[in-house]
Each structure stands twice: as C-alpha cells, then as structure tokens.
Structure 1
Amino acid sequence: MFKDIIVGVTPTGIDNCAVQAAMEFARKFESKLYLVHVAGMAQGWGSIETLEPSGETSRLKEQISETYAEMLEGIQESQIIVVPGIPHNEILRLARKKNTDLIVMGPHTKEYEETRSKMWGMTGSTLERVSQKARCPVMIVHKDVVCKEPLYSNILVATDFSDQAECAVSYGGQMARQYKANLKIMHVVENGNSRSDVIGRLEDEYGPRLDGIGECGFEACRGKPSMEILRMGNQADADLIIMAHHSKERDPEKAFLGSTVTQVALNAPCPTMSVNRHFDLRCGLMYDQTGAAVQTEALA
C-alpha cells in the first residue's frame, strides 16, 4: 500500500515514535524507506553552504546510521539522507523526486522551533509547511503505534465540507475499503445549524460515494472542533484520524495547518493523517474522485 515512505529524523531521536511507525509500515508493505535529516537549523550555523564542505553532513549521517542501525533490520530497502537546507523545502523536494505516497513526521520540540524561527524569520513549523504543500498524505505520530492486522479497523474522518475535506473523505473511503474497516464521517456543527440537518447533508454528499464500505456512519456534534474530534476518536476506538490540513481556505498553497489539526494530532489516541489533495492508494484497487472502484494493476 505504502510503496515509498519518507520519515523525518533527528540525531537526538525526539521523533522516535514517528520513525518506529514508518519502519513498521516499511516492513509490512516492503516499502522503500527514506530517513531524512535536514542539517543547518538545529546546529545554529550561519551558512548552510558550509555544512557539506566541512564534513558536518557526513558526520550527522554516520551518527544517524548508528542510532537506527538495529531498528532498520528487516527492512529490505532503506536510505539515510542528510542534506543542508531548510527542512520543509528539502523534505518536499525529496518527496516529489521519489514520488512518495506517505510522509511520516513527529512534532518537534518548542525550543527547536524557536531556534528555527529566529534564524530564518519563518512562522509555522516544519510540520505545518510540509502538510501545507505535500502532494501525498502526511501522517503525524506522537506516540507508539502498534502495527496490527488488519492495520486499521476504525477510521474517523472529520470534514468541514471544504474542498480539502473532500480529499480527506475520499482517501478515508479508500482506506476503509482496502482494510475492510469501519468508517465514521463527522462534522462539528456551527451555530444556526441543527444536528439532524448536518447529518442529512453528510449522508447526501458523501453517502453515495462510500457504497461498499461494511459499516459507514455519519455523526454531527456541537462544541470546540478539536475537543469533539478527540472525543469521537476515543468513542469510536479510532486507530486512524483523517483530516484536511486546514479549514475552508480554497487554495491549499495558501492555507496553513490549522490549529484544530495540530491540537488533534498532538493529543489523539492514534496517528492523525493530514490530506489536502486527492491521492490514490497504490494497491490493486484504485478509486476515482466519486469513490467508485476502478480495477488496475498495482503500481511499482
């Protein structure tokens, strides 16, 4: 299912949960795994051009290789990549080059983000910027993930009826079909809308394209979106939460990872997947944008 996976790594191992999850996926799906570290920001050097000539990138690569050598056992194809630059730019560049179908990331420490902001004058974290522009889904992992069989049994998709949310629902439908998982589509009701009206809209807009999913339900609730999504995730025993990376911004290039997604991702009982574009699973069955199954050969 996941053929090419990128995971962000650091020499300090602060994102170990994300790395372990990516490695488990790589073993399960016999994927190519790229462990990527972008040097220059955390170290505090003033010029990224000096990192390779000085040998710092080679030193960091060796350090990361030693850190993860034992964990990489059993993974057929893996590569450690250390490059100088701005993290989100280099991760996105590599993702395009390798045509990856999953980027796995963990949250960075507050101190790291403050250092990055002071050095480069950028707002928003690497996670925000990767999720903003990635062409493939971005999985945010902040705690240990158990790679079970089936991988997913209960999938929760939160929608706000935006264009990006359409992509998230479509991807959730594909995942549910692939794993024969239960699927729940939810929306947090805004003032002035009744719960029954919203459920009716969910059924009308998404119901026809989700045919063939064993158990598919729709839910509407009222409250703070992040809190309600977290509550529903616990209630549904979700092992994956899928959301659009922002709310109702029509242009995904202009939108940032919304605070709702951030709050859910850092507190959810399971991984959170950010989807902001239509993306097909690379497996035996593919699905068009209406959710209809299309038979095709597996992609390499």
Structure 2
Amino acid sequence: MADHRELITTAELAEILTRPDLRLFDCTTYLEPAPEGSGVPYIVVSGRQTFEAVHIPGANFLDLQAEFSDPRTELRFMMPPVGQLEAAFGRHGISAHHRVVLYSIGTAMWATRFWWMLRALGFDGASVLDGGIDKWTAEGRDIETGLAGGYPQATFTARPRPGMFVDKHDVLAATADSNTVIVNALGPQFFKGLEPSRYGRPGRVPGSVSVPAATLIDPKRKTFASAADAEAAFAAQGITKDKRVIAYCGGGISATIDLLQLHRLGYDNLTLYDGSMGEWAKDASLPIETG
C-alpha cells in the first residue's frame, strides 16, 4: 500500500491500525441553523461529542474551528498563519515521520479540508478514509468510546506550497482569464441562485461552472465516486489538465472534495478560494451571476 495516496480504504486502515507511526483523526464539525437575524450563516458546533460517543480505535480528534482556523477574521474556517498550524499539528503529534489518516462523520468534506491544508503546508503523508466512519461501522468493525487519548507531541515543520489558496482579488481577475476554470462545488439550486443563500446575495462567481461536491460522493456508501465518473463530471464542464482550476463553495470546505478528486485524477494546477461565497456574496463591489 502506497503511503501517499489521497484515499485509503477501510480494509487498508484496519491493516495498519496498530502501526506506531499512524496518526488517525476524526475531523467532524457540524453546521447548525443560526437564529433568524443573527447575521451569521450558521452556528459552528464541534464534533467532539460525537467523537466521544463513537470513534475508530486509537483515533484522536481535530477541532477545525477552535484550533485550525484564523481567529482574526469573522469568516469561518479561514486558513490561519503557518505558525499557528505548525503549533497545532505538533500538539496533535504530527511530524514528517508520521502517516496521517483523516475521516469525518456523514460527509468527507471536513476530512478533505484538513487534507488540503496539510498539502498546502507541504505535508504529503495524509490520506482521507474512503467512506469515513460510516463505512467502517457499516462493516461491523471495532469502535471505541470516550475521550481522545492524545498522541505524544511532535515537531511539525511546514514547507508551504505557494498558490494553494487565493483571495477575492485573484478570483475576480480569474473571471477574465481563459486559462482558468472557476468551479462551484455547491448544489445546482445555489449555483443558479434559485434559492435564498445563507451567505448573502444568491448566485455564483461570474463564469464559474458547476461540479457539486455531493455528486462526487456515493450518497449511500459515503465513498468517493470512481475516477472514471469524476473525470466525466469535470470534463463535462470543460475542465482540462492544461487549465488552472479555482474551486469554491460556501466556506471553503466542500470544495476540497472537488480538489481531492481533481488531484487524484492528476490535475496539478489547483487552488481554493478560501473565502468562497461567505465572502463574495457579502461584498457588493463584486459581481454575481444567477440563472
């Protein structure tokens, strides 16, 4: 089994579960409806409680909002400074010598977000558990309950890769660049602006194409769509390997499912608009498109 693949199966994880260099994490976060008039799109709730109720043996927990997001902005889940991430990943026992496996409950997007962040920091030893804990438990595999045991602290040294995150100015410039495809990972109704958006103005970044993250996951098995099906979905939207891809969604989370699938297929000029519609829809100076 290769150590640096994007995905790892439940059977493969079971084989390495006792490896001393394994670092296994539940990354789950929940988004609950915000009170009307609160001015925020949702309430962020840590998945720590469900982790304590059930997790894969030996796993620990990563809290995206509490430890791995930028506290200096009102936007949720923004990529924080490198020093903050080095300290946080080091506290959780990750170094260049470790094999990291990430999973989340219900949806893979929280795990893929951490996978993308680690890649952005130059760490290639992370994989997402295909099917997550949903598939693991459906197969009747062992589970644990209780608090996270914690891994011994390690030294995490980042080697940041430039260009893996872009801001609204880069995205605005890209709308006029024929060598860039901007990919919206939200559902079709939000892409078209047919439903009210919790982020602000309904619609999309002008010129962007629709490849919903949900269509890249099997809804029953929670596993990633086959490489052939994913390739067909991207090709249908004119996404080719000679073009740069900017992916976005509501808050820079579900778009990382698209990015993992693209990386898996051999696309290498990939970036994430971190602010996504949480930023774009609220900025009246930025153009928006519907229909």
Normalising by the residue count of structure 1, what TM-score does the alignment of the two structures yield?
A: 0.30
More helix by share: 1
Structure with greater Cα Rg: 1
More strand by share: 1
Normalising by the residue count of structure 2, what TM-score does the alignment of the two structures yield?
A: 0.30
